[in-house]
């Protein structure tokens, strides 16, 4: 198994698997690495996206403020662990440089494709959720595109390169509420504006992923296929429980699922995952993968309140997915 088109991230945050731990994904001892009050007027900072940038790291962070407005904020870090997040939310620009209306936005992902960083997020479109897209090159100016789809849609996750000559995205059609259903779909676009060639990828199955599923971080390209981490939801007598699993999708036809985990790879267990604004949520939006070592550092929202980090390696995760499919 080989990583394809990977990036070397020599300063990737990393901690070895704790002694005695046999889990395929293990948590940082520093969790939560970002607390709910890390920026002015924040109620919570959680499902967020991070990329290597300028020798350090940049991120787009979801913060709900003390009015409970959901907005996106830029942050920078030299080590990926200690973050300086802007108090003011991102002001997305249209192609003429005017500031766009921003109703609400949450659950960002950031995907580098060639020389641009693309942000996708759940964007309020006349009060209805759909997929917003913007690009930046400097994490200062963000240029927004048309919404990718009609409402209702969430969890738009771009692939890090064109597939079949087109940009490619996973998404999860939904409803205007908390969506008690949800399958992952695949779409292509020649220009980030017009999306089509829609394909069904996968739907909920049993137990931890029986209610709905949705894309997580940006897919990692390997010679075995696209390695993806996704979230799955179980409806308990006390509400939704958000866990994460992994799958391997065909490289050229990513709607074809080659392997998919039966067990979860991480589920709410620690206090900061089980207690918070929304208890029992782990929601990964980032996996940084160092091509040199195959190490993967996952950033995930915990209990819709804080951010945690967790680790695995490409070799171990691919092995786990194949053996537990």
For 167-192, the DSSP string reads EEEEEEE--SSS-S---EEEEEESSS
Helix, strand, or coil (residue 302): strand
Q: Residue 33 or residue 192: which is nearer to ligand BMA going by CB?
A: 33
Residue among 77, 79, 106, 109 at smallest CA distance from 219: 109
Q: Name the β-bridge partners of 65.
A: 42
Site for ligand BMA in 136-155 (CB under 6 A): none
Smallest gap from Cβ 301 to ligand BMA, in A, equals: 6
Q: Is 299 in the site for ligand BMA (CB under 6 A)?
A: no
Beta-carbon-side half-sphere exposure of residue 85 (alpha carbons within 13 Å)? 30
Q: Is 107 in the site for ligand BMA (CB under 6 A)?
A: yes
Q: Is 242 in the site for ligand BMA (CB under 6 A)?
A: yes
Q: Is 272 in the site for ligand BMA (CB under 6 A)?
A: no
CA dist list (Å): 131 to 78, 233, 289, 295: 30, 20, 25, 30
Query: Which residues, in sequence order, are CB contacts of 12 under 8 Å at separation 6+?
Result: 80, 288, 290, 293, 295, 297
Q: Is 304 in the site for ligand BMA (CB under 6 A)?
A: yes
Q: Is 121 in the site for ligand BMA (CB under 6 A)?
A: no
Site for ligand BMA in 201-240 (CB under 6 A): none
Q: Is 301 in the site for ligand BMA (CB under 6 A)?
A: yes
Q: Residue 107 or residue 224: which is nearer to ligand BMA going by CB?
A: 107
Helix, strand, or coil (residue 317): helix
* Residue 29: DSSP 8-state: T
Number of residues that bind ligand BMA (CB under 6 A): 10
Smallest gap from Cβ 215 to ligand BMA, in A, equals: 12
Smallest gap from Cβ 303 to ligand BMA, in A, equals: 9
Please report, as ranges, the residues that interact with ligand BMA according to CB under 6 A: 47, 106-107, 178, 242, 278, 281, 283, 301, 304
């Amino acid at each position: 198994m080989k990583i394809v088109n990977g990036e070397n991230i020599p300063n990737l945050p990393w901690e070895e698997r704790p002694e005695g731990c046999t889990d395929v994904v293990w948590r940082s001892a520093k969790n939560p690495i970002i607390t709910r009050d890390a920026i002015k007027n924040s109620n919570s900072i959680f499902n967020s996206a991070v990329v290597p940038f300028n020798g350090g790291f940049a991120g787009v962070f979801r913060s709900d403020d003390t009015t409970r407005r959901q907005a996106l904020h830029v942050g920078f870090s030299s080590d990926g662990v200690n973050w300086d997040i802007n108090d003011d939310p991102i002001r997305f620009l249209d192609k003429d440089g005017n500031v766009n209306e921003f109703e609400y936005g949450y659950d960002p992902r950031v995907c580098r494709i060639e020389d641009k960083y693309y942000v996708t997020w759940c964007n309020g479109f006349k009060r209805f959720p759909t997929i917003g897209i913007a690009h930046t090159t400097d994490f200062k100016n963000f240029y927004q595109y048309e919404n990718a789809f009609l409402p209702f849609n969430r969890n738009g996750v771009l692939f890090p390169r064109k597939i079949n000559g087109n940009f490619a995205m996973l998404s999860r059609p939904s409803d205007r509420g908390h969506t008690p259903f949800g399958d992952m779909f695949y779409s292509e676009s020649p220009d980030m504006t017009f999306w089509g060639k829609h394909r069904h990828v996968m739907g909920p199955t049993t137990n931890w992923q029986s209610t709905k599923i949705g894309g997580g971080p940006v897919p990692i390209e390997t010679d075995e296929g696209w390695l993806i981490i996704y979230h799955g939801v179980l409806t308990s007598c006390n509400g939704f429980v958000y866990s994460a699993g992994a799958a391997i999708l065909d490289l050229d036809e990513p709607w074809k699922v080659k392997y998919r985990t039966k067990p979860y790879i991480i589920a709410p267990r620690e206090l900061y995952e089980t207690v918070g604004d929304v208890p029992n949520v782990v929601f990964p939006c980032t996996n940084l993968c160092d091509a040199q070592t195959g190490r993967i550092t996952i950033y995930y929202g915990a209990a819709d309140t804080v951010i945690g980090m967790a680790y695995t390696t490409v070799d171990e995760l691919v092995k786990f997915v194949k053996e537990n499919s």
